[in-house]
Structure 1
Amino acid sequence: MTTPSALSTHETRDRLHELTVIDVRTPGEYAGGHLPGALNIPLDQVQRALTDLRQAADRGEILIVCASGARSENACRILAENGIATATLSGGTSAWAAEGHDLHRLQGSPRATWGMERQVRLTAGTVVLLGLLLGLLVHPAFQILSAGIAAGLVFSALTNTCGMAALLAKLPHNRTGAADLDATLAALRGRR
């Protein structure tokens, strides 16, 4: 199994023209802003794209990006388990934008798309607060909601996965400009 290397935003900027950039965020996040030339293969679709990603890796280096680096690390792990060498962008698109580099947006996409991590924080906080309030005002059993979210967050941290993010990724606002995997893989095949 190969270990992915990490590229800084400066290294990525200097080498962007020679990298195949794969953005593993949701289609909504991708539409809201991505690295120039990046192709969108959401994390839950990476397994379906293995053959094309292997061929792309044979032609040159693949850079996997997400919002902060957690999903790209998961994608790199999946690819490494399948013998595909990759690199990841340290800090993800958040670090890229913070350094003042341009993010490209799909035509007609909203500028204020919330990142998945922000959506998870909002949802987790809302459910915890709701569980506490309903537990105080209606019945103590509602506090199980808060305990469930707490347990889920601990599990998420220990496994570096996030079930809530997987569920939120399926919501309509995260499917704007839905990833057309077939079109993305055709574009990936067309890069030489």
Structure 2
Amino acid sequence: MTPSDPTTPGAVDAGTLRDLLTSANGPRVLDVRTPGEFDSAHIPGAYNVPLDLLREHRAELLAHLDDQIVLVCRSGARATQAFTDIGLPNVKILQGGMLAWQATDAPVNRVRPRWDLERQVRLVAGGIVLAAILGSLLLPGLQWLAALVGAGLMVAALTNTCAMGMLLAKLPYNRGTTTCDLDSIVGRLQDTAPQPEARP
């Protein structure tokens, strides 16, 4: 992609986003992480719209997003996927995600600390590989399970998707305290929609 390509996501750094959020017509921040990750630490005023929900209900959500939007995730990878799904010119991505935001000592809201999804994937994948290799000492052939996990991680890297991450996102641990169904998200977007200026 070239910089002039209209589908290239615009990136905004943490400092610029902080300035934009204090302006009169600041952007809406959509955090595409799991509700559990969102509870762990999020930008004040952000809306939690998990990536799978955004993909499934794109049209309904876009009807309530007519202003500037900044997509946020942990590092920028899921926000880039969400950008591809939304496909609007007024969408930007927080460069470096929450890692960059927190590195600048920007304010965050915390509800309950949890491991982020990428860390959970590393733990589960590593645990399966270790168990398969050790288990193959007793059950020959079990090492192929480790090979299967390795192949899955390669596919995840090549396609920039992660089946294991999508499965882990559905666990109760990752659900969080905020309700993340379509109706509740649309309700919050409507409640905070910019009001038209009154005419004299």
TM superposition score normalised by structure 2: 0.86
**Structure 1 unmatched ranges of 5 or more:** none
Q: Please tell me whether residue 94 in structure 1 is matched to residue 95 in structure 2.
A: no
Whole-angstrom CA distance in 1 between matches of 2:77 and 2:11: 12
Uncovered stretches (5+) of structure 2, i.e. residues with no partner: 1-5, 195-200
Higher helix share: 1
Structure 1 match to 2:71: 64
1:69 is aligned with what amino acid? G
Alignment partner, residue 54 of structure 2: 46
Runs of 4+ in 1 over 2 A off after TM superposition: 47-58
Encode CA deviations 1:66-87: one digit per residue, 9 max, x unaligned.
111111110001111xx46411
Letter in 1 for 2:181: D
State whether residues 31 and 46 of structure 2, in contact with CA within 8 Å, keep that contact through their aligned partners in structure 1. yes
> By how many angstroms is 1:44 displaced?
0.5
Give the SS at the match of 1:87.
strand
1:116 corresponds in structure 2 to 117
TM superposition shift of 1:57: 4.1
Partner-residue secondary structure (3-state), 2:142: helix
Shift of the 92–27 alpha-carbon distance from structure 1 to 2, 3 Å rule, reads same
Q: How many residues align?
A: 184
8 Å Cα contact 1:6-1:87 kept in structure 2: yes
What letter matches 1:10 in structure 2? G
Question: What percentage of residue pairs aligned between the two structures are identical?
Answer: 43
Cα deviation for residue 181 of structure 1 reads 2.9
Question: Aligned to 1:64, what secondary structure does the other structure show?
Answer: strand
Larger Rg: 2
Give distance in 2, aligned partners of 1:147 and 1:141. 10
TM-score normalized with structure 1 length: 0.89
Seen in structure 2, the aligned counterparts of structure 1 residues 153 and 139 have a Cα distance that, compared at 3 Å, is same
